[in-house]
Structure 1
Amino acid sequence: MSAWFAVLGFAAVIGFLLLPYAGLGGDGQNFYYTGISAAATWAVFAGARRVRQSRRLPWLLLGAGQFCYTIGDVAYYISHAIYDSDAFPAPADLFYLLQYPLVCAALVLLVRRRTPSWDTATLLDAAILAIGLGMLWWVYLIGPMATDVDGSESLASNVVSIAYPVMDLIVLATAIRLAVGSGARSTAFRLLLASLLAMLVADMVYGLQTAADTYRDGGVPDVLWLCEYVLLGAAALHPSMRTLDHRAKVALPNVTVGRLIMLAVAALLPLVVLYERYTPSVLLFGVCLFTLVIVRMWMVLGIQQRLAIVDELTGLKARGVLLSHLDLEVERGRRQRYDVGVILLDVDQFRLIVQIHGQPGGHEVLTELSDRLVRLCGDAAVLGRVGDNMFAAVLPGYDGTDLVQAAGRVREVVEKKKFAVGDQEEFRVTVSVGVAGLFRDGTSPTELIEHAEMALRRAKSAGRNRVYSPDGPVEQRR
């Protein structure tokens, strides 16, 4: 349905461009334009009905914003086609301006729902890009309008004229936060961003043409606004819109070459503008941008020092990443009322192994142990190395019985087959295991880890090679 709407919508846009050649310009174009806007409104509300009621609000806000745009188009058509009025501001401007806060509220909701608890770096990225592009908005749109304000125009006219680019700037900043944030880049996500981009570019071109007194109905801004309508409707009707607001599994430091290039370009924009004109606002923007870039780079260095995404030795997730996964699964488990299990295992007598076989031998044991865990758990668990010789597994959907059985299989798999270290004789390695389950042993990630650690200590104190829960032994076969 989304593909058909997009095809028909863009066909309608082409028809809009051809109307003047058929002698149907003016009123015909205005009526045609309003029809496409109304169709987009229907598409957004129809798409909103496809998701659960608790997840509809962002799409309902987007639909309400498009509805305001449609009412504005109708009012614009009535004032120009019927009453031949060029008054400014007009009733249509009220509805056009109402769209912006509705769209911003929808984008903020999407950002909040998609973003895990830790995403400060992405927030800084969005701020850098928003300030860089916002500077262009200020220098070329908002600034000239504010400077040209005089007594020849009414206060309402001056306020509305400046309100449009200011609202665009707010939407731009929010859209950038959504674009660079965490979460899946689905087709609906890309269509929504393309719709926002078309709207912002259309508003910018309209502002420049209005300032130069070259705007005419049926021009580039109108075509871009129609493309915005079609793209928004296609996003709302695409099946992937159901997952657009799903929370990302984990927020990781996103330092790619492309992102660093974007940040560098945004930071250099003030210097580029300085070649054309000199204003104090450009210097202020430059100071803010370079300060944010320095903070961002400092954060990247700090993250790289404190947190590795993947453990270098075993290839499993590092402690910080695994705990982020645990935070997310516990949050989902509490919200959807499903179990989450945690398994902690520690290699018995690991210091003795290192003393006998050396540090390289100890590393081989840890590497082989991680390989066995991966083969055993597959995709059922999130595995990580959380200490020198301690491993953890997060198992979504595992209740008490399943958790104990999984922990028992882990202990048996480690003990069953001897470990080979270099050319030396093979020897047996055992592990002590502690388990903890959501709701039964705790309701927060911290409580689960603490109870699993307590169970692990009890297993080692009881003679090692055992599986314990916080309540006591659950599997003791040797």
Structure 2
Amino acid sequence: MRLFSVVAVLAITGYLMLPENVWVRTVWQVTTGYAATAAILLGAHRLPRADRLPWWCFAAGVFLNTTGIPVSVVGEIYFGFLDLPTPADPFFLGLYPACALGLGVLVWRRDRRRDWTALVDAATITTGFGLLAWVYVIEPQDLGDRMNRWAHATQVAYPIGDLLLIGMMTRLLRSGGSRGPSLWLITGALAAFLIGDTAWVVLGNLGEFGVMLENARWFRRPLESVFLIGFLLFGVAALHADARQVAAAAETPPARLGRGLLALLAGASLIAPALLAVQLHHGTVVNGWALVFGSTTLFLLVVVRMAMLVRETERQARQVRDLARSDELTGLPNRRAWNDELPRALERARRDRTPVAVAFLDLDHFKVFNDTHGHPAGDRLLKAAAAAWHSALREVDLIARYGGEEFVVLLPGAGAAEARQILARALESTPLGQTFSAGVALWDGSETSDELLKRSDAALYVAKANGRSRVELASDNWTMQQAG
């Protein structure tokens, strides 16, 4: 890759200094393009077979575009092919579908899920630049007679190809996965082609001044080298070690709406009013219906994008709320969620005049278990115990992690006898041969949630003092030994 990079720099530098001989320039261009094709194929050969297809597509595009150079020169010098379409145009145009196919394969392999947000972003940018292409390139062409229609079709095929590459390139950059050097080299190669095509379109619209610039060596030679840079960047991208990661399935999420992307979307959305302002400044609106269609499409795309952004924000807000109320280790409700739910449960019990019980659970000898087996084993015990106890409870019951190895249980509608049965099942289900001590308090109908918790906590300490592996009922000091 380093050797080819040095050769690429020398190739571009040498081309700028070549004499004004059409055959020397043609041979240099063709040699550079075919060398880039060979570099792409060599880089692809070093990759796993499943990852070679997009690089083969890029190689095909560079090969076809390079082949169009000698075909164009020979056709112009020996056969007088000056007007579009020429035999070289199919080769030049072959670059677009080949590269678009390669980009499509990369997008599909990097991001298998349907990312509608990225698709809307790509559509917005493509629509904005498409409106520019329509106003300044496509619509101004005179359809004329039958031959001119072929010329018109050929002329508009180039900006359409550029729009295709813009859309696919935007979608690729919005995908997940690696964003290493190879990806940016591919982006630079495509950008070089787009810059070169745009420059030729601008020259064509400048009339005699454009012809003068086209014939000026100091201008034409750097402009021609832009396409050579595109060829060579593809070769460097294929030979780079990071090429192995370009087609890898995404492990990182897609790029978010950063400042650069936001600026690009804003610029694309403002193209339609900017074009209208220019035409109003010149005193007449030439492309009224195109501007109406483009403005409407861009407006709808912006609305869709805003709706997606709002939904994503709401989803993230819900996720944050859920995380704030869930224990990270066990997945149970945490102390914050418990403190919110207990007063509501007591209020329902007051309204419906039904009993409610609260229990404090504490794993017995958990510190000894941790010291013996290690903290990872302790975490696994907490997760397993939480899952087992949750399964032993009723659907209406709530268990939450209060802190450390302490858990709290809310038993709506449960009196003393039913609370005993429920906690007995939970005690028997404790995994890894472990046990817990528990204190249960029945709500008296008037005390606060804090007072109720204090009574159940006091009963828990009684259970520990009486030998653990048991449940103490705060109201009557009832004890229950572990079954067996």
Q: Same fold (TM over 0.5)?
A: yes
Asked whether the equivalents of residues 41 and 55 of structure 2 are also in contact (C-alpha less than 8 Å), the reply is: yes
Q: How far 1:413 sits from its partner (Å)?
A: 6.5
**Aligned counterpart, 1:12:** 11
Q: 1:130 Cα shift?
A: 1.3
Report the secondary structure of 1:249's partner residue. Answer: coil
1:290 to 299, 304, 312: 299
Cα pair distance change 1:140/1:118, threshold 3 Å: same
The answer to whether 1:188 aligns with 2:182 is yes
Question: Kindly tell me: are residues 346 and 274 of structure 1, through their superposed partners in 2, closer, same or farther at Cα, counting changes over 3 Å?
Answer: closer
Tell me the TM-score normalised to structure 2 length: 0.65
Assess, with a 3 A threshold, how the Cα gap between structure 1 residues 162 and 314 changes in structure 2: closer, same or farther: closer
**How far did residue 84 of structure 1 move?**
6.2
Amino acid at match of 1:411: R
Q: Is the 8 A contact 2:382 2:405 kept in 1?
A: no
Change (3 A) 1:171 1:258: closer
- Aligned counterpart, 1:345: 330
Hey, what does 2:458 align to over in structure 1?
A: none
Tell me the CA shift for residue 313 of structure 1: 8.3
Classify the secondary structure of the residue corresponding to 2:223.
Answer: helix
**2:275 paired residue number:** 273
Partner of 2:24 in structure 1?
A: 28
2:310 to 301, 309, 312: 301
Q: CA deviation at 1:232?
A: 1.1
Instruction: State the secondary structure of the residue aligned to 2:248.
Output: coil
Letter in 2 for 1:15: G
Greater Rg, structure 1 or structure 2? Answer: 2
Q: 1:427 to 1:255 in 2, by over 3 A?
A: closer
8 Å Cα contact 1:195/1:228 also seen in 2: yes
CA deviation string 1:50-86 (max 9, x = no partner): 2111111111111111111222223224334566653
Asked if the contact 1:188–1:244 (Cα under 8 Å) also holds between the matched residues in 2, the reply is yes
Equivalent residues in 2 for 1:203-282 (5 A)? 203-211=197-205, 212=207, 214=211, 215-216=214-215, 218-249=220-251, 251=253, 254-277=256-279, 278=285, 279=287, 280-282=289-291
Could you tell me which residue of structure 2 aligns to residue 158 of structure 1? 152
Q: Give CA-to-partner distance per residue, 1:349-387, whole Å, 9 cap, x none.
A: 97996499999xxxxxxxxxxxxxxxx9xxxxxxxxxxx
2-side partners of 1:429 and 1:92: how far apart? 79
Are 2:52 and 1:53 equivalent residues in the alignment?
Answer: no
In the alignment, the residues of structure 1 paired with residue 56 and residue 321 of structure 2 have an alpha-carbon distance, to the nearest angstrom, of 46
C-alpha distance in structure 2 between counterparts of 1:99 and 1:307, whole Å: 42
Task: Report the alpha carbon displacement of residue 414 of structure 1 after superposing the two structures with TM.
Answer: 7.4
Q: Counterpart of 1:180 in structure 2: which amino acid?
A: R
Q: CA deviation at 1:14?
A: 1.6
Aligned to 1:199: 193
CA apart distance, 1:156: 3.0
The aligned residue for residue 337 of structure 1 is none
Q: Distance in 2 between matches of 1:298 and 1:304?
A: 10
The answer to whether the 8 Å contact 1:270/1:282 transfers is yes
State the alpha-carbon separation in 1 of the partners of residues 336 and 324 from structure 2. Answer: 22
Task: Give 3-state SS (helix, strand or coil) of 1:184's partner.
Answer: coil
Shift in CA distance, 118/87, structure 1 to aligned 2, threshold 3 Å = closer
Aligned pairs (5 A) from 1:408-447: 409-412=378-381, 428-429=405-406
Structure 2, unmatched stretches of 5+, are 280-284, 345-369, 386-401, 410-422, 436-484
Q: Which residue of 2 aligns with 1:179?
A: 173
Q: CA deviation at 1:410?
A: 2.2
Question: CA shift at 1:131, angstroms?
Answer: 1.0
Equivalent residue number for residue 415 of structure 2: none
Question: Structure 1's 257 and 89: CA in aligned 2 closer, same or farther, altered over 3 A?
Answer: closer
| Contact kept in structure 2, 1:128 and 1:267, CA below 8 Å | yes
| Counterpart contact for 1:79–1:85, Cα < 8 Å | yes
Question: Counterparts of 1:240 and 1:27 in 2: how far apart (Å)?
Answer: 37
What is the distance in 2 between the residues matched to 1:201 and 1:66?
Answer: 16
Aligned counterparts of 2:59 and 2:12: Cα–Cα separation in 1: 20
Whole-angstrom distance in 1 between the partners of 2:95 and 2:104: 14
After superposing the two structures, state which structure 1 stretch, 109-118 or 267-276, moved more. 109-118
CA–CA separation in structure 1 for the residues paired with 2:127 and 2:340: 57
How do residues 56-205 of structure 1 correspond to structure 2 at under 5 angstroms? 56-80=52-76, 85-86=81-82, 88-145=84-141, 148-151=142-145, 153-205=147-199
Alignment partners' CA distance in 1, 2:102 and 2:96? 10
SS at structure 1 position matched to 2:330: strand
Q: Report the Cα distance in structure 2 between the residues aligned to 1:229 and 1:348, rounded to whole angstroms.
A: 58
Distance 1:263 1:88, change over 3 A: closer
The answer to whether residue 39 in structure 2 is matched with residue 43 in structure 1 is yes
Displacement of 1:461 in angstroms is 6.3
> Cα distance, 1:195 vs. partner?
0.5
Determine the structure 2 residue equivalent to 1:387: none
Partners of 1:307 and 1:150 lie apart in 2 by 57
Contact map agreement 1:10 1:230 (CA 8 A) in 2:
no
Deviation at 1:308, TM superposition (A): 4.1
3-state SS, counterpart of residue 255 of structure 1 = coil
Give me the whole-angstrom Cα distance separating, in 1, the residues matched to 2:130 and 2:337. 62
Deviation string 1:209-233 (CA, Å, 9 cap, x unpaired) is: 2453624584443111011111111
Change (3 A) 1:476 1:100: farther
